[in-house]
Amino acid sequence: MSDDRLQKILDEALEDEFKARATYAAIIHTFGPVKPFVNIVESEGRHAAALLQQYQRLGLKPPHNNWAAHDIEVPATLREACEAAIAAEVENAGMYERLLAQTDDPVLQGVLANLRDSSQSRHLPAFKRCLERESRA
């Protein structure tokens, strides 16, 4: 597999993790240290770190995280924030499925699969519980 292809795969995944972390941090800034956002924002940082290790392993240069400079639109309510996070985690899984199909590097496949699985087995259920909680409030 070409370095260009690996670079594109890693760039897309890392950009998504940077975006998620910045979005969840903006939600925390607006609504305070609410669960599950306070837990998952740190998890997104660990996801980015795992991808950065792959850049290093493959001798590739990661893109700069420009998300701090983005004007992130925060939903008006915590309920809407939970809904948006659910949609983002579903999209995240689709992205990882697509990226997994594009690489034959077994180490990278393992990292991408772990990130997908974490998103689907931990983040998505947590945001669904958040939505249930906010819907009852």
Give the HSE-up count for residue 83: Cα atoms under 13 Å, Cβ half-sphere.
Answer: 9
- The 10s digit of each residue's pLDDT in 21-66 is 999 999 999 999 999 999 999 999 999 999 999 999 999 999 999 8
Stated pTM of the model: 0.93
* Average pLDDT for 7-29: 96
The domains of the chain, with CATH numbers, are: 3-136 (1.20.1260.10)
Q: How confident is the model at residue 137 (pLDDT cuts 50, 70, 90)?
A: confident
Residue written as tokens 């910045």? 22
**pLDDT recorded at residue 123:** 96
Comparing CA positions, the residue from 4, 7, 44, 2 lying closest to residue 23 is 44
